[in-house]
Amino acid sequence: MAENSLVDKVLALQDKYEQLQTQLTDPEVIADMKRYVQLNKDYKELQPIIKAGLEYKKLVDELADAKDILMNEKDEDLREMAKAEIAEIEPKLPQMEEEIKILLIPADPDDSKNAIVEIRGGAGGDEAAIFAGDLFRMYSKYAEKRGWKIEINDQAPGTSGGYKLIVFKLSSNDGGVYGIMKYDSGVHRVQRVPQIETQGRIQTSAASVAVFPEAGEFDVELKWDDIRLDLFCASGPGGQGVNTTYSAVRLTHLPSVLVVQCQEERSQLKNKDRAFEELRTRLYNLEHQKYLDEIGAKRKTMVSTGDRSAKIRTYNYPQGRVTDHRINWSMYNLPVFMDGDIQECINQLQIAENAERLKEAGE
């Protein structure tokens, strides 16, 4: 992409950015909260593009001025200064161009959202539930490293430990959780000697991870008239109040027959609010999955298409290895990975997806 073309694209977006800035101060826009929220989101998404683009334009202009001095100036001191400036600027431009090209590619509109994560023990019986618990611990440790908040919505403990099912929300004041966690949607496979194995045989088990972008208040119109509310006693750990008060909540969306439940809070009202949030998210994701399917039809490597039936990663305990099959990436320090040190894998997946999207944009 030529320098002028890249600068032109940034300047065109700057016009849009300034228009949004004006619209956000318009009383009519402020009065329409749904429109205001969307415009504010668009405005914030443009900020890093404009910042990077203007810095790039500044260097391009400085490079042109330095080359002009080198061609037309006879003063040797000025020519030496121009040579030094050219030598400093030219190596920076290619990397800046790549970064701007990636920023110019339309992002997944849900990347800025928080995430709802569901882990289910799959094939492997009790060992699969134990592995689902290991994955939950891994994500909890990762969330702690990132400074994210974790809230459990629902859980069904396994008979020998771990979870048959656990649903939780990951949130950050800065947002962007889904854009990071979406890469972990899929089937995770473990190879190890199970805790319940007495003869030392290696077994393969699996757990599925589904990551959903949390739906905002204005993303889905959800009416209580379309919901059946059931109350029941919470089960499992929790001390006083468990199995004695009807604090657990189950919501059934009658038109879609979607069911969610929450029993983690002592307060029925809090459980009701969190179940409502999750139901709204799951309804939103019925539409979001169509978007993911469209991406999947176009992409060859399927780095983050949301295909939740795809086997994406293997955790091999005898070899101390974790392998992500989408990008053929391996790490031979499985204990550290399971302790929440998963950022390197996510970085490699993001690099692969960006390369994929750049290729698509060039076709």
pLDDT of 1 reads 42
pLDDT of 292 reads 65
Q: Which two tokens stand for residue 45?
A: 């998404």
pLDDT class of 175 with cuts at 50, 70, 90: confident
User: φ, ψ for residue 219 (rounded to 5)?
Assistant: -80, -35
Rounded to an integer, what distance in angstroms lies between the CA atom of residue 27 and that of residue 34? 14
Element (H, E) at 147: none
DSSP state for residue 175 in the 8-state scheme? -
Which neighbouring-strand residues pair with 154? Answer: 167
Strands (E), 13-148: 115-121
User: φ, ψ for residue 261 (rounded to 5)?
Assistant: -145, 155
Three-state DSSP state, 305: coil
Residue 181 pLDDT greater than 90, yes or no: yes
pLDDT of 340 reads 96
Question: Per-residue pLDDT tens for 202-241?
Answer: 889 999 998 988 887 667 778 888 888 888 876 655 444 4
195 and 160 Cβ atoms separated by less than 8 Å? yes
Cβ neighbours, 10 Å, residue 229: 12
Question: Per-residue pLDDT tens for 290-321?
Answer: 766 665 555 544 455 545 567 999 999 999 99
pLDDT of 83 reads 92
Q: Which two tokens stand for residue 9?
A: 């694209």
Between the ranges 118-122, 227-231, 340-344, 350-354, where is the mean pLDDT highest?
340-344
Span 119-146, mean pLDDT? 93
Angle between the 92-104 and 343-362 helix axes, to the nearest 10 degrees? 80
Q: Quick one: which of 53, 52, 41, 40 has its CA closest to 12?
A: 53
Residue 276 pLDDT greater than 50, yes or no: yes
265/255: higher pLDDT:
255
111 and 179 Cβ atoms separated by less than 8 Å? yes
Question: Per-residue pLDDT tens for 52-61?
Answer: 888 999 999 9
Rounded to an integer, what distance in angstroms lies between the CA atom of residue 8 and that of residue 142? 40
Span 158-176, mean pLDDT? 90
Same fold, 3-104 and 115-358: no
207 and 128 Cβ atoms separated by less than 8 Å? yes
Residue 196 pLDDT greater than 90, yes or no: no
pLDDT of 198 reads 63
Using DSSP bridges, classify how beta strands 163-171 and 149-157 pair: parallel, antiparallel or unpaired. Answer: antiparallel
- CATH 3.40.50.1220 holds for 115-358: no
pLDDT class of 258 with cuts at 50, 70, 90: confident
- Amino acid at the residue 4: N
Mean pLDDT rounded to a whole number for the chain: 84
For domain 3-104, give the fold: Methane Monooxygenase Hydroxylase; Chain G, domain 1 (1.20.58)
Question: Per-residue pLDDT tens for 114-128?
Answer: 999 999 998 778 899
Span 22-27, mean pLDDT? 88
197/155: higher pLDDT:
155
Domain boundaries, the chain: 3-104, 115-358
Q: Any idea how long the chain is?
A: 363
